[in-house]
Amino acid sequence: MKENLSHSPASAPSHRTKPLSRNFWLQVLIISAVFCLWVYEVVFGANSRFVLQKKEKFQKCSIDEYRATGFEFLKTAERPPWEEYVLRRNNLAQALVIDGVDAFVPQWEGWEPEERPFLMVIRPSTLPNGSIAANTSFLVPHFEEERARLLKMPFQEPISTITYEEHWNYYTTLWETSIWGEKLSPVLMVDEEMRDFISRGLASNGFTIVGLSGEVEAVRQVKTERELGIMRAVNTGTVEAIRAMRKCLYPGVTENEVAEVLDYTLKSAGLDPFFDIVEFGESAALPHGGYDGTRKLEPDDFILIDVGAHLYGYSSDVARTFYPPFLQNPPPPEYNVTEKLEVWQLVLDAQAASVKAMVLNATAASVDLAARGIIEGAGYGKQFTHRLGHSIGIKAHESPYLNKGNFATLLRPGMVFTSEPGVYVLNEFGVRHEDVLVVREEGEAENISGGFARSPWAP
């Protein structure tokens, strides 16, 4: 009988697989993670780089187009010498005498506003020859006195300070100084933007407080030729920046990206942007925005841009509504833009009517009503939802205001206003044209913002 060579299960050798080590699974996990990161970088990283490159190209194009102007608009701007500031303060002092006010305290801060008042106090003083000049003092914390002297404010002589210690009453300190003579309750006129706690503090500690008005207010409203030169430069420069940037727009760019590129464009000429409103399509139906800025540009979108910048302390404030350069003129039939084009021209006609009405001795109301009548006559009166404009200078919004109720203000030569009529069709589109104009001795107002818009393709 053959020998049985088979083995019983009990005696058979074991063939079970040895468990994989922890290091092996760790290596698998690391390789998988690296692979996923690689895939993410390939898919999403490349897209991010592409978007970044498009934005960088957009910004470079915009700045290059702006520089191509040669920045000729800057030639009208001259940094004011200290004599200019002396003249303005003396004009203010003379207005204080006319208004029967002892001093003017503007909303002014030498540094970041805080709870310790740092006040400029401008008083009229009679010189030996009988003329009126400004006498300026500063209420300042004692420990900040030297810092105040380092601000390089436009004074020929060292500034005059009234100092207080931290534990003193600031306002009583000012009231007790000898600058008021025998007056028990000096009359102080304060700027309309003066911080409330300061106005209340002055009123509660011996002073009579009145608001900005009369001849003092008029001093700010009427600009000198040097001021007008700066305002012409900054407003024309702002319009030119919009025109330069427009040439570089591309489909899909966002409102936020346009605002950022526009800021860098303005800075390339030495202008200091301080606000941007950039709205595409139906976003522009809200005059001052309200969306998150992520809307992407489509070919048939109206683009509404309202932007301001500073130069030598003076403001620009202009607006343009236009089509992107990649929408042909006239637009293809598939784009239904008839109403948009009609409204664009309507708003421009309203602005033109306001310019003709902006003449010497006209009321502020009449200028607003001239533009409003054009828009109401076309059936869009309810879509013109704000005043026509405002004065502008060191502040972007100054008095007087061009609204249909302001019959008290008569226009004087040298007053500067925005004219910014608009039509806003909710959930569809908005149109606004805004230019800066100066009232002249004769004829209609002069545009000092680089000329009016010419078409939706030539803003």
Residue 443 reports pLDDT greater than 60: yes
Dihedrals phi, psi of 183, to nearest 5 degrees: -75, 130
Distant-in-sequence, close-in-space partners of 185: CB < 8 Å, separation ≥ 6? 206, 207, 208
What pLDDT is recorded for position 33? 74
Residue 2 has pLDDT above 60, yes or no: no
Q: Region 174-190: what's the mean pLDDT?
A: 95
Residue 278, CB-side half-sphere exposure with 13 Å CA sphere: 23
- β-pairing, 429-432 vs 422-425, is antiparallel
Cα 116 from Cα 198, distance rounded (Å): 9
CATH number of 82-221: 3.40.350.10
pTM: 0.85
Measured in degrees and rounded to the nearest 5, phi and psi for residue 143 equal -70, -10
Which helix (H) or strand (E) covers residue 56, if one does? Answer: helix 46-67
Phi, psi for 423 (deg, rounded to 5): -130, 130
pLDDT in tens, 244-293: 999 999 999 999 999 999 999 999 999 999 999 999 999 999 999 999 99
Alpha carbons within 13 angstroms on the beta-carbon side of residue 71 total 14
Q: Residue 162: which of 147, 146, 150, 145 has the closest Cα?
A: 145
413, 419 in Cβ contact below 8 A?
no
- State the Rg of the chain over Cα: 33
What 3-state DSSP class applies to 421?
Answer: coil
Residue 10 has pLDDT above 50, yes or no: no
Range with lowest mean pLDDT among 19-23, 153-157, 202-206:
19-23
CA atoms of 347 and 368, how far apart (whole Å)? 13
Q: Domain ranges in the chain?
A: 52-72+224-447, 82-221
Tell me the C-alpha to C-alpha distance, in Å, between residue 231 and each of 113, 356, 395.
26, 21, 11
Provide mean pLDDT across the span 169-194: 95
Helix (H, G, I), strand (E, B) or coil at 241: helix
Calpha distance 277→73 (Å, rounded): 23
Give pLDDT tens digits for 68-108.
Answer: 999 999 999 999 999 999 999 999 999 999 999 999 999 88
State the average pLDDT over residues 355-369: 98
Please report where in the chains the tokens 């033109």 appear, as a residue.
352
**What tens digit of pLDDT does each residue of 324-341 get?**
999 999 999 889 899 999
CATH topology of domain 52-72+224-447: Creatine Amidinohydrolase (3.90.230)
Helix H or strand E encompassing 209: strand 208-211
Residues 6+ apart with CB under 8 A from 341: 456
Where would I find the H helices in 222-363? 225-246, 255-267, 338-357
For strand 303-311 and strand 314-315, is the pairing parallel, antiparallel, or unpaired? antiparallel
52-72+224-447 shares its CATH topology with 82-221 = no
